[in-house]
Amino acid sequence: MTKIALITGASRGLGAALAKALAPTHHIIAVGKTVGGLEELDDAIQAAGGQATLAPMDITVDEAMQQLCRGIFDRWGKLDLWLHTAIHAVPLAPTGHIGPKDLAKSMAVNIEATARLIAYAGPLLGDTGKAVFFDDPRGGEQFFGSYGATKAAQIALAKSWQAESVKTGPKVEILTPNPMPTGTRARFYPGEDRAPLASISDEAARLLPLILE
């Protein structure tokens, strides 16, 4: 039976790289807002002999996520794997200068959407599936107020779910990638020398055994 992997935030960065790495063994359900990025991902997966279902959606739209997860149930009846790489990052700013709209968007993507997706994807994963979250601990760092606080809250949700599901499943894993030249990091360090950073594809290859174990 084909294994099914849902990747939220799959249109670029680590999500796209992990989708390509998983494609030889999983049918990929790729969720993202960047249609062009999803189409490029689909081309790469098909070229390598894999299959993907593209879902150009905004994870903050509750009705869209309900429809997505109901569609997964209707077509496959389950999920084997859910990788949550979607994140919203605003430019760095002093804590007292965080814009209300930036904070609201960070909370909507990083916290509220994550909580809803746990509720919707959890039943699809059942007691044998696995959910993977990706930490980027910035809480308390200067100028990282909006991102650091909402990312920490996202991981707190994942850790609570992890503790709650030890005996019942699904398995919940929290991994910490090495620094990579992603678009998110570029927003934080626009003038950074990116040469020393781990390549995104290499980091996906490093994380893959941890995801599949």
Q: What is the pLDDT of residues 155-175, one digit of tens each?
A: 999 999 999 999 999 999 999
Query: pLDDT value at position 1?
Result: 78
**Quick check: 187 pLDDT over 90?**
no
Query: pLDDT value at position 80?
Result: 98
Could you tell me the CA-to-CA distances from 78 to 137, 150, 151, 152 in Å, in that order?
A: 31, 29, 28, 29
Backbone angles phi, psi at 115, to 5 degrees: -60, -45
Q: What is the pLDDT of residues 35-54, one digit of tens each?
A: 999 999 999 999 999 999 99
Query: pLDDT value at position 174?
Result: 98
What's the whole-number mean pLDDT along residues 66-86? 98
First CA to last CA across the chain, in angstroms? 19
* Closest listed residue to residue 57, CA positions, set 66, 49, 45: 66
Task: Match domain 3-212 to its CATH number in 1.10.760.10, 3.40.50.720, 1.10.10.10, 3.40.50.10420.
Answer: 3.40.50.720
Domain ranges of the chain: 3-212
Query: pLDDT value at position 47?
Result: 95
Q: Is the dihedral of CA 63, 69, 119, 152 positive or negative?
A: negative
